[in-house]
Amino acid sequence: MLHTASRPLTLIPLLFALLLSACSTPQNTTSPERSNAPTSAASSHNSAPGQAAIASAHPLATAAGMAVLEEGGNAFDAAIAVAASLGVVEPYSAGIGGGGFWLLYDAKAAQYRFIDAREMAPAAAHRDYYLNADGTVNRDKAVNGPTAAGIPGQAAAFAHISEHYGELPLKKTLRAAIHQARDGFPVDEHYRTLMGYRLEAIRRFPESARLFLDDNDIPAAGFNLQQPELAQTLSALAADGFDGFYTGSVAERLLQAVNSNGGEWTAADLAGYRVIEREPVHVRYGALEVISAPPPSSGGIAIVQMLNMLSHFDWKTMNAVDQTHLLTEVMRRAYRDRAEFLGDPDFVEVPVSELLSEARAQAWAESIDPVQATPSLDLAGPKNLNEGFHTTHLSVLDKDGNMVSATLSINLPFGSAFTAAGTGILLNNEMDDFSAKPGEPNAYGLVGNEANAIAPGKRPLSSMTPTIINSPQQSAILGTPGGSRIISMVFLGALEHLQGKAVEDWVSRPRFHHQYLPDVIQHEPGTFSDQQQVALTRMGHRLQAVGRQYGNMQAILWDKRKQQVTAASDPRGIGSASVSPAGK
């Protein structure tokens, strides 16, 4: 059980000056517990856009969603179609062998809902599940093969959202994905690059090698990749909903494949999986709302913490170096709290009220030296958490104002690399997002995160941060993949929006990241000039270029003043954004 906020947050008007003419006392409605009570929206949702938009990480998925909208489906139907398609054409990032978080806005009910479809540890898992006899962590068991997989939640999310929020049956919303799996899709260079990370692991498992390789090697660009068994599994899900995946013949084949290859799943593990509707992190600043992911995501709490700290500074007027320094220090402190306090709220107490309080924001703000970096070890927290770096995101808005921001994952590229024979289901390796050995000092002498220890039925902590920012003037839908960097990317994208930038600027902004430990500013090539790097180094920061661009943000902006909808897909990826003509 989580603590709810015991007093309102305060945030100075400066942060939202471009969006609000005045800022009254904000209210924090965060209550991320198991709950069936929806979060009501403010009165700023008082019109419909008259246009629809989808931004996703693959053109085929965006097209699938737009087709569902044209067939009379709503944003929730379209989001299912997009997600199902991504699971076929992006087998490296998402699929029904994984899970994710879905942030919904139901315009008719004027309510936000958060669908937790995160994977669950099987009943056989326990705190020391990945420890060898000598107490060391068995990384291979935690990363590769069925022992690394949690019970998938994606299929349950499709069934739940379709039943409770959609207008169309799964037979229609899954149709494009079924066709894509059966008939195939052309392999692109992005697929080839990500397969390069996991080629040897894929080769270890014959079923995966058969499906995702060509003669045991990375397929050439343009190769038509077919997944007929996955098409059959999706068809069973379309016909029978939850039972088509978690019971019956699909479940039997899943159990046979997992348990004959070292896994320890039971029929009860599958049949007992449930999505949880949780209250999102929902903070109001006057008429403006920030709505994001609650635990077991760490994203929403971290985003609000960073905004609260930032409110104590005149950050918009700072030069690039001083602003980078400040944003780094804000990230450092939010990630420090993330490492210590966050976990599955059904298993651990998460002190939400304390983390989001103005008192904590002020204390953290006062600890920031304006000209000198704070060594992370001085903050005396636990070591940070490692997460897989490849995920996917989709954003959807329909003409009636329904919204979806969903971040989905199987963790590392191609997940566990294990495909269950006869199902086409490529399993996740999300169990690696737990702390495999809590209490063990790391290289810095700091102790690991006990709140994220493995337990049967528990959901691992995540950074996935689907977010909606709403005001009487505008509504923004955004999110991105990227492991532990997701939070900092959404934070930087949100700041672009709060400064009145176009949606294209949110997704293309050069990125940097600090996650408390390791104590470095990670950044994309070209983010900082030589002079800026020298200045930041003199302030005590260590910089590390990651050698590549990262992230794949998908974003939509509904400008209610202009009655205009715009959308953008991150130029770093191969995705696409589409906006329907007005009135369609």
- The 3-state secondary structure of 227-256 reads CHHHHHHHHHHHHHCCHHHHCHHHHHHHHH
Q: Provide the CB-side half-sphere exposure for 203 (13 A, CA).
A: 12
Closest to 422 (Cα-Cα) out of 275, 567, 266, 254: 254
Give the whole-angstrom CA distance, residue 541 versus residue 363: 22
Whether the ω angle into residue 481 lies within 30 degrees of 0, i.e. cis, is no
Closest to 420 (Cα-Cα) out of 31, 201, 145: 145
8 Å CB contact between 52 and 82: no
407 is catalytic: no
8 Å CB contact between 480 and 394: no
The SS3 of residue 304 is: helix
**441: β partners:** 447
8 Å CB contact between 88 and 179: no
Give the whole-angstrom CA distance, residue 489 versus residue 576: 19
Give the whole-angstrom CA distance, residue 560 versus residue 556: 13
Give the whole-angstrom CA distance, residue 313 versus residue 316: 9
By the 10 Å C-beta count (0-12 exposed, 13-18 middle, 19+ buried), 581 is classed as exposed
Q: Which of 328, 391, 467, 480 is catalytic?
A: 391
8 Å CB contact between 296 and 344: yes
DSSP label of 499: T
CA 231 to chain centre: 25
Q: Which value, in Å, is the radius of gyration of the alpha carbons in the chain?
A: 22
- The 3-state secondary structure of 307-359 reads HHHHCCCCHHHCCHHHHHHHHHHHHHHHHHHHHHHCCCCCCCCCCHHHHCCHH
List the structure tokens of 156. Answer: 């349950």
8 Å CB contact between 506 and 474: no
List the structure tokens of 148. Answer: 């690394």
Give the residue numbers annotated as catalytic, written as ranges: 391
